[in-house]
Amino acid sequence: MRKKTVLTGIKPTGIPHIGNYVGAIKPALAFLENDEFERMFFIADYHAITAINDRKLFNDLCYEIAATWLACGLDPEKVLFYRQSDIPETFELSWLLSCLTAKGLMNRAHAYKASVDKNRENNAGDLDAGINMGLYNYPILMAADILIFHTDIVPVGSDQVQHVEIARDLAQRFNHIYGKTYKLTLPRHMIQEESMCIPGLDGRKMSKSYGNVIPLFDTQKKLRKAVFRIKTDSTPPDAPKDPAKSDLFDIYCAFATPEQIESMKTQYAEGISWADAKQQLFDILDDLLAEPREKYFELMSDKKGIDDLLLAGAAKARPKAQELIRGVRDAIGQGWIK
């Protein structure tokens, strides 16, 4: 009996920030420690070019995402860690799946519908304005990412469930037509527990699109500067403050120990200056990130080393993809292609 395969992918579309760490990186790494499963993790680089056409930016982000996860504790000895683009069989499977996909299914995909709705709100003459086929076909490529390795489980947030359901639908469609010769594994989603969502510098959700983030790996000086930009009110330094109404306190709670949190609550009640509260947050973040930050910069100074790790992961993963493609080719009547 083979181990069940768990697959996690991340798209390199922005510099990782502390919100990513709390909401995605930390919980994913905790799950990946479970050795009951065969764990696969990939950089979804070709998904990113639906939105990024700057060559240097695209290249930099791919390395930054890989270095971030490695620095935070992703162990390539325990997980198959690879780059999507190093598994060319994925793109062959994507085309084969697209030939089985009803256009109406893609019309109902969330990302496409959201883009159409935005054009409608802006009174665009063409509801498809600015929408490329990469975005439209995005769910099919994601289905190929999942199905190429006979993935059993895909941990996702609630907003990503549809993608796994589409992958399952396409696998069922393939099996209905070709299942007497070869079958694809039907994946299922696993909803990750709602991770903490921390506010950004301006009080809104921390997001690259809002420009209100605290980068995960920056110099110590820049980290402190970002922390001190967190928006606070005009309450006098020695006046009591309500932690329930403080974004600064919410961010602090995401990284502090229970004892530190209780201490901060007491200081809020007794009156603490915002500068002192920010300094304490900076101290916690700096202490937490000091070691991974050093490793991150070390990795980024040796991009060939990152390439070697990802290529080694692909070399282990690719035979599985090749085996599946051989089965799929045989099923559709192209078994002579080796």
pLDDT tens digits, one per residue of 256-277: 999 999 999 999 999 999 999 9
Q: Scanning the structure block, which residue is given the tokens 């080719």? A: 329
Q: Which residues contact 240 (CB under 8 A, 6 or more apart)?
A: 268, 269, 270, 271
pLDDT of residue 338: 56
> Do 106 and 173 fall within a single domain?
yes
CA distances from 48 to 9, 59, 85, 234 (A): 12, 11, 11, 41
pLDDT of residue 26: 86
d(CA 137, CA 16): 26
> Do 246 and 128 fall within a single domain?
no
Residue 210 near residue 19 (C-beta atoms within 8 A):
no
> Do 11 and 95 fall within a single domain?
yes
Q: Does residue 337 lie in a domain region?
A: no
d(CA 300, CA 321): 29
> Do 152 and 242 fall within a single domain?
no
Q: Does residue 208 lie in a domain region?
A: no
Dig out the tokens for 257 from the structure.
């120990």
- Whole domain around residue 271: which residue ranges? 217-297
Q: Does residue 203 lie in a domain region?
A: no
Which helix (H) or strand (E) segment holds residue 116: the answer is helix 110-121
> Do 240 and 265 fall within a single domain?
yes
Dig out the tokens for 140 from the structure.
């099919």
Amino acid at residue number 10: I
Q: Does residue 138 lie in a domain region?
A: yes
> Do 138 and 238 fall within a single domain?
no
pLDDT of residue 193: 61
| Range list of β-strands (E), 5-66 | 5-10, 38-43
Residue 23 near residue 208 (C-beta atoms within 8 A):
no
> Do 319 and 184 fall within a single domain?
yes
For residue 195, name the pLDDT band (cuts at 50, 70, 90): low
Residue 265, domain CATH: 1.10.240.10
pTM (predicted TM-score): 0.89
> Do 9 and 145 fall within a single domain?
yes
Q: Does residue 202 lie in a domain region?
A: no
> Do 282 and 319 fall within a single domain?
no
Residue 319, domain CATH: 3.40.50.620
Q: Does residue 173 lie in a domain region?
A: yes
> Do 152 and 22 fall within a single domain?
yes
In percent, the amount of the chain with pLDDT more than 90 equals: 82
Q: Does residue 106 lie in a domain region?
A: yes
> Do 241 and 315 fall within a single domain?
no
255 by DSSP, 3-state: which?
Answer: coil
pLDDT tens-digit profile of 299-333?
999 999 999 999 999 999 999 999 999 999 999 99
Instruction: Write down the mean pLDDT value for the chain.
Output: 93
> Do 157 and 242 fall within a single domain?
no
pLDDT of residue 1: 66
Task: Count how many domains the chain has.
Answer: 2
pLDDT tens-digit profile of 3-54?
899 999 999 988 889 988 988 888 888 877 778 889 999 999 999 999 999 9
Q: For the residues 169-190, what does the mean pLDDT come to?
A: 96
For residue 236, name the pLDDT band (cuts at 50, 70, 90): very high
pLDDT of residue 194: 53
Amino acid at residue number 281: L
Q: Angle CA(333)–CA(335)–CA(337) in degrees, nearest 5?
A: 120
Q: Does residue 205 lie in a domain region?
A: no
81 by DSSP, 3-state: which?
Answer: strand
pLDDT tens-digit profile of 77-109?
999 999 999 999 999 999 999 999 999 999 999
pLDDT tens-digit profile of 283-299?
999 999 999 999 999 99
